[in-house]
Copies of this chain bind each other. A is one copy, B any other.
Amino acid sequence: MTTDEAIAQTMQQLGRDAVAAQGVLSNSSGAQRSQALHAVAAALRLQQAGILAANERDMSAATAAGLGRAALDRLQLDAARIEAMAQGVEEIAALPDPIGATIAEWTRPNGLRIQRVRVPLGVIGIIYESRPNVTCDAGALCLKSANAAILRGGSESHHSSVAIHDCLVAGLLAAGLPAACIQLVPTTDRAAVGEMLARMTEFIDVIVPRGGRSLVARVQQEARVPVIGHLEGICHVFVDRAANLAMARAIVLNAKLRRTGVCGAAETLLVDAAAERTLLGPLVRELLDAGCEVRGDAAALAADPRVKPATEADWHTEYLDAIIAVKLVDGVDGAIEHIARYGSQHTESIVTDDAATAEQFLTRVDSAIVLHNASTQFADGGEFGMGAEIGISTDRFHARGPVGVEQLTSYKYVVRGSGQVRP
């Protein structure tokens, strides 16, 4: 048997076990799943030393392999990060049980009573990279929504993920649920990803990729199962002529610089040409003074000698860094046009005191999240009050925007009659 055959066999078995475990989850109570989540949190705290030791092994190997600073930071765990994971699991436990909830109900003229009732999606495959906390977050979100999870983490974080996964299993067993409700792919061979994407259609109902462009591109290319996609966030802030300068300044700085590595960080600032003198200059200077590199069009270049010239590529770029592209546009129409052309339909914000202009923007910009007078960095399931999220979907299909427990469900129709037959 070749390695690939062995991996294929392993993955098929994982798939069968996931389906069987999901059957148990479908008939579990919300209380039982909450109990399991609380036990997971307890196990994470109890196993802190073991998790840190495993993480240390990953960190040493990654350092030796020459991983960059940002990647090492994503990989590293400490006591505070483990406590944050445990608290995250407890927050998910405290969310209302989505399963069995009646989403809609109505009665037909013939007396049939129809209910649309929330059910799990089934088996969810999550493919991610170096952040070990995804093992915990994704497992907990799937468990809450009664989905079985097959987790495939990055090879850099494998030891950390195994240690965290042990805590997930401990929690499941403590609540009398099968360990196979949350499985971690035991091999770091990339062939396992290929199996999940293309040869487990019988077992996996949906794939959630979490990672950079190359991972997402591979998933979109190879997947034979539905995908909840998370593409890049080329987010825009448009400052309209009727914006209040102080508010615009606060929102632009927060949207760009609060955290530069998140998908909801602003990458492009659009300023209304009618406010070139009053708003463009102050905003550009403020960004530069805060340490942000500014790449601008002719108007931005004229505003401050520190501005560098923007090229066409800049309008397409998700910097994920302290760099911003700045452009003057012809009012809200110009902003909408620019966003339609260069945006990634993730998150865009307008700053204006003009309610009619704001409505124009909110209605016509076709992004998962559109904001008026608020920072793009609110693009986050927690900030939306959804408790936690498995990512921000840039798809239009099934789920759009933050993907929380509710977005990890499907529904079925329950119809109650009294002997009705169809004429």
By a beta-carbon cutoff of 8 Å, the part of chain A in contact with chain B is 26-27, 100, 106, 108, 112, 114, 119, 121-122, 205-206, 220, 224, 226, 244, 247, 250-251, 253-255, 258, 358, 362-364, 366-375, 377-378, 380, 383-385, 395-398, 400-401, 410-422
Contacts and interface: CB of A to CB of B under 8 A. Distances in A.
B119 A421 contact: no
Nearest to A373: B417
Contacts of A26: 364, 366
A398 B397 contact: yes
Copies held by the complex = 2
27 contacts: A27-B364, A112-B374, A114-B385, A206-B397, A226-B226, A226-B395, A244-B419, A250-B419, A254-B421, A254-B422, A258-B421, A258-B422, A362-B414, A367-B412, A368-B412, A370-B412, A370-B414, A371-B417, A372-B416, A373-B419, A374-B415, A375-B422, A378-B422, A380-B422, A397-B398, A398-B398, A400-B411
A254 B417 CA distance: 14
A412 B419 contact: no
Nearest to A122: B396
Given A258-B422, A369-B415, A412-B367, A106 B385 contact: yes
B396 A413 contact: no
Contacts of A368: 412-413
A239 to B, nearest CB: 13
A385 B108 contact: yes
A247 B377 CA distance: 59
A226 B206 CA distance: 11
A418 to B, nearest CB: 6
